Amino acid sequence: MSRKENDTTPVQPKPRLNNASRIEAYTQPAGGWGALFSVVRNLKQQQILSKGSITLLNINQPTGFDCPGCAWPEKHDAEHLFNFCENGAKAVAFEATSKQVTADFFAAHTVSWLAEQSDYFLEDSGRLTQPLRYDAATDQYLPISWEAAFDLIAQHLQALEHPDQAAFYTSGRTSNEAAFLYQLFVRSYGSNNFPDCSNMCHEATSYALTQSIGHGKGTVTLEDFEHADAVFSFGHNPGTNHPRMLSTLRAVSKRGGTIIAINPLKERGLERFQDPQAPLEMMSNRSTPISKYYFQPCIGGDYAILFGMLKHLIEWDHAAVAVGKASVFDRDFIAQQTVGFEAMLAEIERTQWSAIHARTGLSATQLQALAQLYLDADRAILCWGMGITQHRHGTANVHMLANLALARGQIARQGAGLCPVRGHSNVQGDRTMGINEHPSTNLLDQLDRVFDMQAPRQHGLGVVATINAMAEDRVKVFIALGGNFAVATPDSVYTQAALRRCQLTVHVATKLNRSHLVCGREALILPCLGRTEVDLQTHGPQAISVEDSMSNIHLSAGRNPPTSSDLLSEPDIVARMAAATLPNSTIQWRWYVESYDRIRDAIAEVFPDFHDFNARVYPSGGFHLTHPANQYRWNTPSAKAQFIIAPLEEVYADPESQFADAFVASKVYTLMTIRSHDQYNTTLYGLDDRYRGVYGQRQVLFMHAEDIQAAGFTAQQWVDIESIYSDGVKRIIHGFLIVPYNIPRSSLAAYYPETNPLVALLSHDPHAKIPASKSVPVILHPVAAPTAQTSSEENAVAQTGEPLAP
Ligand SMILES: Nc1nc2c(c(=O)[nH]1)N[C@H]1C(S)=C(S)[C@@H](COP(=O)(O)OP(=O)(O)OC[C@H]3O[C@@H](n4cnc5c(=O)[nH]c(N)nc54)[C@H](O)[C@@H]3O)O[C@H]1N2
Ligand SMILES: Nc1nc2c(c(=O)[nH]1)N[C@H]1C(S)=C(S)[C@@H](COP(=O)(O)OP(=O)(O)OC[C@H]3O[C@@H](n4cnc5c(=O)[nH]c(N)nc54)[C@H](O)[C@@H]3O)O[C@H]1N2
Ligand SMILES: [Mo]
């Protein structure tokens, strides 16, 4: 089969090889002194040691600001004086940095020059300080007044033939107040085009849980972890991505609860943890084992595993009932609260064990042991992350997790339930506020009633559809409230070419990133306040609100003076954009921003769950949104919880596999794209991945030792990685060092976003449309080791080596 070359040169990250690069197995527990040292090093690097400690003391405190690091809820009690973790502290240090990018910086560098620098360089240059407009003649960003910037946006939006020719991206750190105004603006303007970072993240969760239990959110609270017999962790890496969750898991482990990890990689944080906030543990250098059981399936094996666990339960149920014992299933719960149970049983019974075992990557004994652990747990919590959602069968995976919980009545019971572990600190809140390309009719009706408007009924575009629409000139204006769209999205070459076709691209941001350099014909950068900064409006300093992964709403207020006097807050930017674009609107956009209490009052009018929002959110701790399922209210078409199952063969029918057959001569592997310990999504804090033993470099490929040998690779083998999809486009990235690793055979792992050029846009979940960035079919080409090329900023990061623990 012939393969066409991509018309543009693929993004080829430079090899990041330098003197400090090394691979060295990590033998310590997660957390511990390494975590504390890393915090200090990052504060030093961002030049904020003096204000740093004050800033950190305010993280996640009732009177401080919400940590932008992740969405894990915080605990407010005497034991938790510091409610932050190593990676939260890094995120804060990166925002509270005293480094700045000023007009001088942009006068000195063309956009083409900046585009050649690394992502690390761009963000490390410092905070944005004034609004900027791209000048094509000089290829530079030049200062522009706020007023002129909003006029330019208004001019472009007003000139479009249809509002659906614009798309409005949101990254999940945006506050409830900004998100609410943003969706109100976009719907007043006339579109539901809301591509959102959750389209690449937990969309499968929201989509599937809405179908299964009538509401797309998790059902547990932190308290449930105090009562659970067992916690199952499917496909997430809390040691790096939700370090505060390790304290919760540590407590479960300490009181004798069972933690079971299901993850192809042996992740350190899921094995042992030394809590930097537990003085005794730190002084004595002890640690707490986390997972009692660790199962290592092949990438994508989870659907078959969950299917198989249910098949074991069915067989045990038959056996129990035959001898007059109680059913394995919660028959009362199933009869009263659910539909579809019998159909699910029939589908599973019809499926042969051999078909199931062929897909799990576990032995039959392991699968049975896992099912037994689930049966033994009277109260079980099922947690999951990107290892479950970022597959073509992400939605099917989440349906199956819900099936497992429902079959044993593990919902609406203390100490049990479903726990999707969300990423961005307010990604759940943004959805609650209506950032949704598929809005419910109820939401649109409420908006119409409260604001006397006519919200558009036509559903809008998510991330994948937006990229295609830009490529086909159906979307011409792209506006982003935060994030790094050009880098976080799949198929970087195609996506960046699509962005460049736009008439106008606008980025509201705190830090310079690559998306700002992928300009439409015209482009704006609008710098905004960050979480740590005082947000002063007409009625005084304002707080914003966020919703964590367990539906707790609370306030966040910054304490630091703004990095520049020319920054606006996100709600203010949205309001001014709306006022400029919609001069005839009856909504008093800028009046809302004088006091965010007014925005919260409007939110309370639209969403009944938010009644008395201000009165309930000011007392410290805020309030909790009750999950309807916990009250046996199921907002599904049947008004019951629904068992939903897809045949195993259908779920694993891979449209790419026929194409892969054309590569029988090459070994086809499955690659997962994951986060290192020193990054926040596309923001790189450094080049180390401490728990995986990688230092001073990111272009590594984790591979099983026997696969390395079978491929005939030598020690210190370098490879190019090429993905293979049915569209025949050649996608390849160059110069990755193979690292022998504890990962199943045929499964590979490498870091996101360096690997994003490999992920084809067409490879996504057909329902939730999430790019399948955890299952990329790839082949490897051995190449010679790159010559050491060290750029100064990479060296600077790499040389700040890890201090030794005392
Ligand atoms: N410090 C830091 N914190 C973060 C982020 C960050 O980048 N840095 N990002 C934030 C965001 S937006 C998100 S969404 C979360 C992401 O947090 P995670 O969900 O932990 O995301 P990943 O690093 O992508 O890791 C996915 C995990 O899934 C496993 N995995 C991969 N494929 C499979 C599979 O097929 N089956 C199973 N069972 N496991 C699999 C991988 O081995 C890895 O441990 O973290 C949030 N918090
Ligand atoms: N291959 C692959 N691709 C993935 C993933 C993967 O696992 N593998 N994960 C996906 C996931 S889970 C997600 S959530 C997406 C993330 O996608 P995004 O949310 O788009 O990306 P981030 O890297 O989190 O965005 C970082 C930028 O946000 C801006 N920023 C930071 N703080 C603020 C603020 O307070 N206000 C504003 N306005 N801007 C701010 C800064 O300019 C910074 O450069 O990536 C997805 N892409
Ligand atoms: Mo995410």
Residue of 94, 97, 121, 200 with the most ligand 2 atoms within 8 Å of its CB, for mutation: 200
Q: Tell how far the Cα of 774 is from the centroid of ligand 1, in angstroms.
A: 10
pLDDT higher than threshold 80 for residue 522: yes
Q: What is the mean pLDDT of residues 179-205?
A: 98
Q: What pTM does this model have? A: 0.93
Q: Tell how far the Cα of 681 is from the centroid of ligand 2, in angstroms.
A: 5
Pairing relationship of beta strands 522-527 and 132-135 according to DSSP bridges: antiparallel
CA atoms within 13 A on the CB side of 260: 22
The amino acid sitting at 429 is: G
> Which domain CATH number covers 385?
3.40.228.10
- Is residue 4 very low, low, confident or very high in pLDDT (cuts 50, 70, 90)? very low
What whole-number distance in Å separates Cα of residue 494 and Cα of residue 489?
10
pLDDT at 514: 97
pLDDT at 274: 65
Of all residues in the chain, the percent with pLDDT exceeding 90 is 77
Tokens representing 510 are 């705190």
Please tell me whether residues 451 and 597 are part of one structural domain: yes
Domain count of the fold of the chain: 4
Residue of 42, 67, 70, 298 with the most ligand 1 atoms within 8 Å of its CB, for mutation: 70
Q: CA of 364: how far to CAs of 298, 371, 755, in Å?
A: 14, 11, 33
Burial code (b: 16+ CB inside 10 Å, e: under 16) for 685-697 equals bbbbbbbbbbbbb
Please tell me whether residues 686 and 574 are part of one structural domain: no
Q: CA of 267: how far to CAs of 79, 90, 283, in Å?
A: 27, 20, 24
pLDDT at 795: 37
Please tell me whether residues 718 and 736 are part of one structural domain: yes
pLDDT higher than threshold 70 for residue 520: yes
One-character DSSP codes across 29-53:
PEEHHHHHHHHHHHHHHTT-HHHHH
Structural domain ending residue among the three candidates 69, 96, 123: 96
What whole-number distance in Å separates Cα of residue 585 and Cα of residue 145?
24
pLDDT at 88: 75
Task: For residue 171, give the ligand 2 atom closest to its CA.
Answer: 19
Say whether 656 sits in a helix, a strand or coil. Answer: coil
- Residue 169 in any domain: the answer is yes
* Residue whose CA lies nearest to ligand 1 atom number 16: 423
- Is residue 805 very low, low, confident or very high in pLDDT (cuts 50, 70, 90)? very low
More reliable by pLDDT, 735 or 654: 735
What whole-number distance in Å separates Cα of residue 470 and Cα of residue 515?
15
Please tell me whether residues 112 and 253 are part of one structural domain: no
Pairing relationship of beta strands 477-481 and 504-509 according to DSSP bridges: parallel
Evaluate whether 85 touches 59 at the Cβ level (below 8 Å).
no
Structural domain ending residue among the three candidates 420, 450, 474: 420
> Which domain CATH number covers 703?
2.40.40.20
Q: Tell how far the Cα of 738 is from the centroid of ligand 1, in angstroms.
A: 21
Evaluate whether 780 touches 746 at the Cβ level (below 8 Å).
no
* Residue whose CA lies nearest to ligand 1 atom number 27: 236
What whole-number distance in Å separates Cα of residue 189 and Cα of residue 451?
13
With a 6 Å cutoff on the Cβ, whether 424 touches ligand 1 is: yes
Find tokens 């497992």 and name the residue.
404
Pairing relationship of beta strands 230-234 and 258-262 according to DSSP bridges: parallel
With a 6 Å cutoff on the Cβ, whether 60 touches ligand 1 is: no
Find tokens 């690559």 and name the residue.
514
> Which domain CATH number covers 195?
3.40.50.740
Query: Rounded to the nearest 5 degrees, what angle is found at the Cα of 794, between the Cα atoms of 20 and 46?
Result: 110
CA atoms within 13 A on the CB side of 780: 29
- Is residue 11 very low, low, confident or very high in pLDDT (cuts 50, 70, 90)? very low
What whole-number distance in Å separates Cα of residue 125 and Cα of residue 512?
8
pLDDT higher than threshold 80 for residue 60: no
Evaluate whether 236 touches 383 at the Cβ level (below 8 Å).
yes
Please tell me whether residues 736 and 773 are part of one structural domain: yes
With a 6 Å cutoff on the Cβ, whether 685 touches ligand 1 is: no
* Residue whose CA lies nearest to ligand 2 atom number 3: 488
* Residue whose CA lies nearest to ligand 1 atom number 11: 423
Residue of 481, 487, 510 with the most ligand 2 atoms within 8 Å of its CB, for mutation: 510
What whole-number distance in Å separates Cα of residue 109 and Cα of residue 519?
15
Task: For residue 197, give the ligand 1 atom closest to its CA.
Answer: 12
Q: What is the mean pLDDT of residues 573-600?
A: 98
pLDDT higher than threshold 80 for residue 425: yes
pLDDT higher than threshold 80 for residue 411: yes
Q: Tell how far the Cα of 76 is from the centroid of ligand 2, in angstroms.
A: 28
Please tell me whether residues 584 and 711 are part of one structural domain: no
pLDDT at 56: 59
Please tell me whether residues 182 and 295 are part of one structural domain: no
The range of the structural domain enclosing residue 83 comes to 22-96
pLDDT higher than threshold 90 for residue 803: no
Contacts of 759 (CB under 8 A, 6+ apart): 490, 491, 673, 723, 771, 772, 773, 776
Q: Tell how far the Cα of 242 is from the centroid of ligand 1, in angstroms.
A: 9
Q: Terminal CA-to-CA distance of the chain, rounded, Å? A: 59
- Residue 14 in any domain: the answer is no
675-710 residue pLDDT tens: 999 999 999 988 999 889 999 999 999 999 999 999
Say whether 660 sits in a helix, a strand or coil. Answer: helix
- Is residue 787 very low, low, confident or very high in pLDDT (cuts 50, 70, 90)? confident
pLDDT higher than threshold 50 for residue 794: no
Lowest mean pLDDT among 82-91, 202-211, 356-365: 82-91
205-259 residue pLDDT tens: 999 999 999 999 999 999 999 999 999 999 999 989 998 898 899 999 999 999 9
pLDDT higher than threshold 70 for residue 140: yes
- Residue 799 in any domain: the answer is no
Of all residues in the chain, the percent with pLDDT exceeding 70 is 88
* Ion ligand 3, residues whose Cβ is below 5 A away: 201, 423
* Residue whose CA lies nearest to ligand 1 atom number 12: 423
- Residue 646 in any domain: the answer is no
Q: Tell how far the Cα of 774 is from the centroid of ligand 3, in angstroms.
A: 13
pLDDT at 13: 46
Q: Which helix H or strand E contains 386, and what residues bound it?
A: helix 386-389
pLDDT at 620: 74
Q: What is the mean pLDDT of residues 482-506?
A: 98
- Residue 3 in any domain: the answer is no
| Region for 204 from its dihedrals, namely left if φ exceeds 0, alpha if ψ lies in -120 to 50, beta otherwise | alpha
One-character DSSP codes across 187-211:
HHHT-----BGGGGTTHHHHHHHHH
Please tell me whether residues 379 and 450 are part of one structural domain: no
Evaluate whether 3 touches 730 at the Cβ level (below 8 Å).
yes
pLDDT higher than threshold 70 for residue 779: yes
How many helices, marked H, and strands, marked E, lie in the chain?
Answer: 33, 34
- Residue 514 in any domain: the answer is yes
- Residue 790 in any domain: the answer is no
263-303 residue pLDDT tens: 999 988 788 766 666 655 655 556 777 778 999 999 999 99
Please tell me whether residues 166 and 215 are part of one structural domain: no
- Is residue 86 very low, low, confident or very high in pLDDT (cuts 50, 70, 90)? confident
Closest ligand to 169 CA? 2
Q: What is the mean pLDDT of residues 722-750?
A: 95
Say whether 606 sits in a helix, a strand or coil. Answer: helix
- Residue 10 in any domain: the answer is no
pLDDT at 81: 46
Q: Which helix H or strand E contains 497, and what residues bound it?
A: helix 492-500
Evaluate whether 398 touches 204 at the Cβ level (below 8 Å).
yes
What whole-number distance in Å separates Cα of residue 422 and Cα of residue 437?
19
> Is the peptide bond between 753 and the residue preceding it cis, with omega within 30 degrees of 0?
yes
pLDDT higher than threshold 90 for residue 7: no
598-636 residue pLDDT tens: 999 999 999 999 999 999 999 878 999 999 999 999 999
pLDDT higher than threshold 50 for residue 797: no
With a 6 Å cutoff on the Cβ, whether 87 touches ligand 1 is: yes
With a 6 Å cutoff on the Cβ, whether 264 touches ligand 1 is: yes
Q: What is the mean pLDDT of residues 371-395?
A: 98
In this structure, the number of other CB atoms found within 10 A of the CB of residue 142 comes to 13
pLDDT at 6: 44
Closest ligand to 86 CA? 1
* Residue whose CA lies nearest to ligand 1 atom number 2: 241
Find tokens 């935060």 and name the residue.
482
Structural domain ending residue among the three candidates 96, 130, 160: 96
Please tell me whether residues 307 and 433 are part of one structural domain: no
Closest ligand to 294 CA? 1
Please tell me whether residues 449 and 397 are part of one structural domain: no
Please tell me whether residues 501 and 594 are part of one structural domain: yes
What whole-number distance in Å separates Cα of residue 487 and Cα of residue 485?
5
Q: What is the mean pLDDT of residues 340-366?
A: 97
Ligand 2: residues with CB < 6 A are 123, 171-173, 197, 200-201, 386, 390, 423-424, 481-485, 488, 508-511, 513, 528, 530-531, 570, 673, 681-683, 752, 755-756, 759, 773
Evaluate whether 227 touches 220 at the Cβ level (below 8 Å).
no
Closest ligand to 420 CA? 1
pLDDT at 792: 41
